[in-house]
Structure 1
Amino acid sequence: MDDVTLARFAELAVDFGANLQPGQIVSLSGAPGKERLVRAIAERAYVKGAKFVDLAWFDPWIKRARIEYAADDTIEYVPPWYGDRILAIGRERGAAITLSGPVAPGLMDDLDPVRSGRDRLPAIRETGEVVGRRQINWTILPGPTAAWAELVHPDLEPDAALAKLEEQLLHVLRLDEEDPVSAWKARADRLVEVARKLTERRFDALHYTGPGTDFTVGLLQAVQWQAARFSTADGIPHMPNLPTEEVFTSPDPTRVDGVVSASKPLVLIDGTVVRDLVVKFEKGRVARLDSSTAQETMRTIITRDDGAARLGEVALVDREGRIGALDTVFYDTLIDENAASHIALGRAFPFLTDDEETASRMNESDIHIDFMIGRPDLTVTGITTDGDRVPVLVDGTWQI
């Protein structure tokens, strides 16, 4: 990425994604291999008037050492000041910018999968609390690395693989447009309109059918669908995900039944790759979970708390976005989940309703793990309270 492109990348993250306001503290998360991107974002943040850029660094090699050698009764320990740090940024009404994308894919593959599943760092429970209270304006966007590029394009030489990945990411970020902000605003307008229509329909449930998938998800009547744009409690608009192509809501965690098959590999936050994931739900809970890799890791994760085996999100993605058209598995949830419809185990989004009783029924958990279920031949049908069936998404095209 040349200097001009790097500057545009940082500007998109700071000015548009997070929509940083003068005087805000910025929580900036990075990892090895992303140093140049992190520094560019920090510089842009100070240009825009940041009070302070607080860098949070995650090194997966250090996590590997912990899983391999630390005492078993310490694996789930999270220093309390990690959570205190996030809560303090929320109280200060700060901003947050995170760079996604694996830096050491497969690094934990030869370790005890149960121990790997018990250590959820760098995920911090308090992050969900602050986001749920809409205290921060935040964004996540992909930060390419050489290791990630080799995973996505193993048939290319390393330099060519990195150049190809950067080209693709700049395309899905719309940074190949003369005015990427205008392009994003137009796409966001479309997604917000679909979310409005879905909210108005007040479906009682969604029924998904496709290869390896036949399941029904109950919906909560007082919960909205949302897309693209968020706003803090203080009224600061921001784009949490760049790129974003999804329309999403939080379902009824007690009414999920059937079998769903992942359409793409899932990459956990520490780089662990989960392939061929198949989940069976009964009365809202995971009754069976199988995968060809990291199976015991996933089975451990969903026992972390009562809500970890229930759904907190359902998201629909059409075929108008830029990601799916590339026909590439990116091994990064931020990218892959915006190429295909997906669901998430764990934490729901209470800010999607103004009704306290409804919010109390939404799923609670320390985790939030998205996995992709969308494919061209997936059909999503809305079921009304009267039992009528209404096509919603067919062949990747909206029917509402």
Structure 2
Amino acid sequence: MTDNRVARMARTLLDYSLEVVAGETVLLRSTGPAGSPLVRELYAQCLSRGALPSVYTHVADEDALVLAATLDPALHRRADPMLTHLYDTADVIIRIESEDHPYALRAYPPAEQEARQESRFSLIYQQLRRLSAGTLRRCTTHFPTEGYARSAGMSLARYTDLVHRVMLTDREDPVLAWRRVRDDQQRVADRLAGARELHIVGTDLDLRMSLEGRPVDNSCGRQNLPDGELNLAPVENSVTGWVRASGAAYLHDTEVRELRLEFTAGRVSRWQCSTGAEQVEAALAVDDAAGRIGEIGLGMNPGAPGPVGYALIDTKIAGMMSISLGQGHTPTGSANNSPVHWTFPVDLRPASSITADGAVVFRDGLPTAGLGNPG
């Protein structure tokens, strides 16, 4: 039985997120074979638009296969040469997260986890270079699998419904719905952009920082789907105060519990956690930028009722904030450049406020100026 929502997802990606046109080369990269229904739909719709699709599907449980097949660390770090070539030549990249065992690396020693992450970083750097040069457009999306559903404690059918709800592909016209989200979020972004002092205070944090001279990126389905988030980058030496992660913080695939960070002059000056300390210490020591905030995300998507253990959804929940140490996000004006990029959640819904130059813009995780209905 065909799920019409998959066809809507493909149309949203091609017509709204990436605006694919005839003659463009489009890489369809699926991180597991389970993403094939979306790959097939995207492939057909690309051809119908006169675009030129290429498909790269990762082997099932690829990380485990690589680590079991060889003890050579150089091969653990190796990115596939064909994928490297496609990242250098495609006009558009659609990455579909679709593993059956998405968190399998957590069972491996930290050194092996790091090695497999390095194989991904080389592709990320290629992507960042081309995005900065304006020669590439990309979007990361998600196809529901049994593995993600199990992690969320749901049946696959229920999890699939949730995914389409946060993607707005349960709507008859998701493209129109995302355009409304874009316009609504931009009004809030305009109230935050360039603030000389941003004060975020709540149960789990008290942080002050400056956004002077920096835009706020309206993340509205263009580079990620699902989406619904505002991204901002503090001036690198401006952050002071403390923050505590709400729940577990995953550094690559290592679970870090009870994480608390203090910042002085923009950098982590003190930290503590109950698990994962060795990995945190190693990450913060990589370079100066690794201990600075590269990006903050403010979730605004009301479709996700609560965390499901998957960052692409959890960071978009209305009232949730995500903090990323290390590598920043180019559209925010971040100057933080590091091979480290790790993100943890902070729940703003209980008794919080975000004040920009004295004006309250968010209270208890929600904008003080109401948003419209996405349709």
1:312 to 287, 290, 294: 294
Measure how far apart 1:66 and its partner are.
2.6
1:127 and 1:13 map into 2 onto residues whose CA distance is: 18
1:105 and 1:25 map into 2 onto residues whose CA distance is: 28
Match of 2:234 in 1: 251
Q: What TM-score does the superposition give when structure 2 sets the normalisation length?
A: 0.84
Query: For 2:347, what is the secondary structure of its paired residue?
Result: coil
Are 1:305 and 1:365, in contact at CA under 8 Å, matched by a contact in 2?
A: yes
1:81 and 1:343 map into 2 onto residues whose CA distance is: 33
1:399 and 1:218 map into 2 onto residues whose CA distance is: 21
Match of 2:100 in 1: 103
Are 2:260 and 2:271, in contact at CA under 8 Å, matched by a contact in 1?
A: yes
Aligned residue type for 2:159: L
The Cα RMSD (Å) is 3.0
Alignment size in residue pairs: 363
Matches within 5 A, 1:271-350: 273-291=255-273, 294-318=276-300, 321-324=301-304, 326-327=305-306, 329-339=307-317, 340-350=320-330
Measure how far apart 1:276 and its partner are.
4.2
Post-superposition CA distance 1:284-340 (Å, at most 9, x none): 22344545555434443444443222221122234xx3234x12x222211111111
Aligned residue type for 1:222: G
Tell whether 2:214 aligns with 1:223. yes
| 1:330–1:367 Cα change, 3 Å | same
Tell whether 2:369 aligns with 1:396. no
Match of 1:356 in 2: none
Measure how far apart 1:53 and its partner are.
1.8
1:172 to 166, 171, 193: 166
Measure how far apart 1:101 and its partner are.
5.6
Are 1:345 and 1:370, in contact at CA under 8 Å, matched by a contact in 2?
A: yes
Residue segments in structure 2 that go unaligned for 5+ positions in a row: 370-375
Aligned residue type for 2:138: W
Match of 1:213 in 2: 205
| 1:381–1:11 Cα change, 3 Å | closer
2:264 and 2:100 map into 1 onto residues whose CA distance is: 36
Larger RCO (alpha carbons 8 Å, 6+ apart): 1
User: Quick check: 374-383 or 362-371, which moved more?
Assistant: 374-383
Are 1:312 and 1:347, in contact at CA under 8 Å, matched by a contact in 2?
A: yes
Match of 1:49 in 2: 50
Measure how far apart 1:74 and its partner are.
6.2
Match of 2:344 in 1: 371
Q: What TM-score does the superposition give when structure 1 sets the normalisation length?
A: 0.79
Aligned residue type for 1:332: Y
Residue segments in structure 1 that go unaligned for 5+ positions in a row: 230-237, 354-358
Are 2:67 and 2:76, in contact at CA under 8 Å, matched by a contact in 1?
A: yes
2:110 and 2:270 map into 1 onto residues whose CA distance is: 17
Match of 2:373 in 1: none
Tell whether 2:11 aligns with 1:11. yes
Aligned residue type for 2:143: G
Identity of aligned pairs, percent? 23
User: Quick check: 242-251 or 121-130, which moved more?
Assistant: 121-130
2:60 and 2:267 map into 1 onto residues whose CA distance is: 33
